[in-house]
Amino acid sequence: MTKVDIFTDGSARGNPDGPGGYGAVIRFVDSAGTVHEKELSQGYVKTTNNRMELMAAIAALEALNRPCAVTLTSDSSYLVKAFNEGWLEKWIAAGWKRGKERVKNVDLWKRLLKAAGPHSITWLWVRGHAGHPENERCDKLATAAADGSDLIEDNILEDI
């Protein structure tokens, strides 16, 4: 199984009703020892940071054309805790509710679960970007995408 590192970040430019964007970097080493990288970034208008964090992970996982052993590193504790602390299982068991409130972005959580399905994923959280230049790079991609006018579209990614 191919080992893949994915780094992600989302940006809503500090405004939940303002422009948002995501950035992701996918890295793997082939059998000859050559390192391959692919950058992904897209922008979207009027969204939230959490939504962009989900989109970054979805875009990166959907770009993989075969099951992989993935280490996904994000500065979103919300995204990582959903997987590492069993939040998703609780939400699904409760009909996609958190207490009495409906979980936000259910469509994206379902899409993320589908994208994650064939892979073995280790979810890692990094606080900010300290010491993680790849996540800083993703932050720059996400911010540039948020400042752009590109819209997220399905099936825009080429397979690795």
CB 5 within 8 A of CB 27: yes
3-state helix, strand, coil in the chain (%, to 5): 35, 30, 35
Q: Give domain status of residue 152, yes or no.
A: no
Which domain, by its residues, includes 74?
2-147
The total of structural domains in the chain comes to 1
- Compute how many other C-beta atoms are within 10 angstroms of the C-beta atom of residue 22: 32
**Tokens 């899409």 found at:** 111
Q: What is the pTM of this model?
A: 0.86
Please state, in angstroms and rounded to a whole number, the distance separating the CA atoms of residues 146 and 10. Answer: 9
Q: Give domain status of residue 128, yes or no.
A: yes
Please state, in angstroms and rounded to a whole number, the distance separating the CA atoms of residues 113 and 73. Answer: 16
pLDDT digits 0-9 by tens, 26-83:
999 888 888 888 888 888 766 777 888 899 999 999 999 899 999 999 988 899 999 9
pLDDT digits 0-9 by tens, 96-140:
999 899 998 899 999 999 999 999 999 999 877 666 788 888 888
Q: Give domain status of residue 52, yes or no.
A: yes
CATH code of the domain covering residue 10: 3.30.420.10
Q: Give domain status of residue 155, yes or no.
A: no
Pick the closest to residue 132 from 46, 78, 71, 70 (CA basis). 71
Query: Which of the residues are catalytic?
Result: 9-10, 53, 75, 129, 139
